[in-house]
Amino acid sequence: MIRRARMSARRLAAGAAVLLLSATAAAIAQGSDIAVRGGTIHTLTGPPIRDGVVLVRDGKIAAVGPAASVPIPDGIEVLEAVVVTPGLIDAHSTLGLSGIYNSNVGQVRDQDQLETSAPIQPELRAIDAYDAREKLIEYARGFGVTTIHTGHGPGALISGQTMIAKTRGDSTEEAVVVPFKMLAFTLGNGLSREFKSPGTSAKGVAMLREALLEARQYLEKRETRTAATQDDGEGDGEGEGDEKGGGEAARNLRHEALAALLQGEVTALVTAHSAPEIEAALRLQEEFDFPMVIDGAAEAPLLLEEIAAAGVAVLPHPPMARLRQGSFETAAKLRDAGIPFALQSGFEGYVPKTRVLLFEAAIAAANGLGFDDALASITREPAQLLGIADRVGTLEVGKDGDLALFDGDPFEYTSHVCAVVIEGEVVSRECR
């Protein structure tokens, strides 16, 4: 294929950028070439570029700047748009686990975001449930979303793990960017009534503390053993006195997942809406000192100082979510308090089965957040919060060629997303 030959030539030139590709991403798409010319290009690194060009080669941004300074090579496909933004990043959803049918009865079971056999199951991996071909993923992509942080949902004290994926690919392996990113916690009223225990919010916190304590002990034991193995020889006393004797500790998947949290390798995504729930989340985080983001946080505006002091980020509820305490202005208030945040589509238990990130950001934009911060909250900010800013979130040379193309103000009701590009590949060409 001509195309492929051209790409391999480019790969040499792309050099370091190629190295940034994860092995799995590299396996699916060798990365494509495309040029996008936009009336306004929002790079999210500085002021918008008027009449600019984004050049993507081998799936990575090779150049971005005014049209006059970015020559478009011959033979490359050129898309045009009124407005160009980075591909949108959904800071939190359950897409790929919670399917369009919303059914867990009979033959149709597409609700894998919540397992109710036990309230604490951090060992449940998102990658083992993610359906890359779920219709709602394609739907979200049509509205500009190119990266999602998704996985186990709210409803259990710890419902399981989350992952980061690109909204393309036919399998988890093709889509995944980060296989284990966060552990999904839920405090208080958000817990499913399926569980016999906890029956109260205080009991829930107690159960979490127990689980975290056990994991800490497991971790300490593991570290001691590792140290002992390294020292070797000297069977000098102590001996841990347990049944396994020295050597390898028996693996425990639950403890391992929580140990990853305690070691700061993954983050706690704690769904907490009311002020007492948010307080409890902050208390847990202080006690066990793990990385945390607060999800939902309808009453965060009542605790802005505390949240800011704790240095945690917030993924506020979608503005249009049906929440008692929810406000169109939650995001604007977080911004005003200097708290890092990113918008999300979240989890929906009924109709509509998913929210449209762009539409939610539009409501936030019109209710105090403003255009620039609203756009940042679905591009640059989630990239930073999710630790993937080296790849996505802004339009800079070397980053993934993920783009959303619009025929007007992205947030206007009557504008359309007219093309979506992931790593140089046009994945949607229909104006929506």
Partner 1 sequence: MPRALCPIPRAWRVAGTVPLLVLLASSLAAQAPVRAFRGAQLHPIAGPPIEQGVLVVEGGRILAVGGSSTTIPRGAEVIDVGGKVILPGLVDTHSHLGSVSGGDRSAPLHPGVRALDSIDVRSDSFWRARAGGITTINVMPGSGLLMSGQTVYIKLRRDPRTIDDWLFCDDPIGGICGAMKMANGTNPLDPPPQSGSRAKSAALVRALYVKAQEYQHKVDEAAADSAKKAPPRDLELEALLQVLRGERIVQHHTHRHNDIATVLRLQQEFGFRVVIQHGSEAWKVADQLAAAKVPVSITFIDAPGGKEEVLGWRLDAPAILERAGVDVGFNTDDWITDSRLLLRAPALAVRYGMSREKALEGVTLAAARMLGLEERVGSLEPGKDADFVVLSGDPLSVYTQVEETWVEGERVFDRDDPEHRRFAVGGYRVYRDLATHHDVLESEAHQ
* Residues near partner 1, by CB under 8 A: 99-103, 108, 135-136, 139, 298-299, 301-302, 320, 322, 324-330, 348-356, 359, 362-363, 365-367, 411-416, 432
Q: Is 151 exposed, middle or buried (0-12, 13-18, 19+ CB in 10 A)?
A: buried
Closer residue to partner 1, CB minimum distance, 227 or 351: 351
Distances (CA, A) of 304 to 187, 310, 340, 415: 19, 10, 11, 34
- Rounded to the nearest whole angstrom, what is the least distance from the CB of residue 376 to partner 1 in the complex? 17
Q: What is the residue whose two structure tokens read 């497991």?
A: 218
- Rounded to the nearest whole angstrom, what is the least distance from the CB of residue 192 to partner 1 in the complex? 13
Closer residue to partner 1, CB minimum distance, 130 or 288: 130
- Rounded to the nearest whole angstrom, what is the least distance from the CB of residue 432 to partner 1 in the complex? 7
Nearest alpha carbon to residue 280 among 312, 324, 328: 312
- Rounded to the nearest whole angstrom, what is the least distance from the CB of residue 318 to partner 1 in the complex? 10
Closer residue to partner 1, CB minimum distance, 64 or 140: 140
Secondary structure (DSSP) of 330-397: HHHHHHHTT--B----B--SSSSSS--HHHHHHHHIIIIIHHHHHHHTTTHHHHHHTT-TTTSSS--T
How far apart (Å, rounded) are the C-alpha atoms in residues 309 and 337? 10
Closer residue to partner 1, CB minimum distance, 56 or 420: 420
392 in Cβ contact with 400 (< 8 Å): yes
Closer residue to partner 1, CB minimum distance, 191 or 260: 191
Measured from the Cβ of residue 81, the count of other Cβ atoms closer than 10 Å reads 22
Closer residue to partner 1, CB minimum distance, 96 or 99: 99
How far apart (Å, rounded) are the C-alpha atoms in residues 86 and 388? 13
Query: In degrees, to the nearest 5, what angle opens at C-alpha 275 toward C-alphas 273 and 279?
Result: 105
329 in Cβ contact with 320 (< 8 Å): no
- Rounded to the nearest whole angstrom, what is the least distance from the CB of residue 361 to partner 1 in the complex? 10
- Rounded to the nearest whole angstrom, what is the least distance from the CB of residue 69 to partner 1 in the complex? 33
Closer residue to partner 1, CB minimum distance, 26 or 302: 302
- Rounded to the nearest whole angstrom, what is the least distance from the CB of residue 53 to partner 1 in the complex? 27
- Rounded to the nearest whole angstrom, what is the least distance from the CB of residue 334 to partner 1 in the complex? 12
Element (H or E) spanning 96, and its range?
Answer: none
Closer residue to partner 1, CB minimum distance, 48 or 408: 408
- Rounded to the nearest whole angstrom, what is the least distance from the CB of residue 93 to partner 1 in the complex? 12
Q: What is the residue whose two structure tokens read 């393309």?
A: 168
How far apart (Å, rounded) are the C-alpha atoms in residues 52 and 30? 26
Indicate the pairing of strand 145-151 with strand 88-93. Answer: parallel
How far apart (Å, rounded) are the C-alpha atoms in residues 290 and 206? 17
Nearest alpha carbon to residue 150 among 351, 422, 386, 426: 386
Nearest alpha carbon to residue 338 among 295, 368, 306, 308: 308
- Rounded to the nearest whole angstrom, what is the least distance from the CB of residue 423 to partner 1 in the complex? 25
Q: Which amino acid is located at 317 in the chain?
A: H
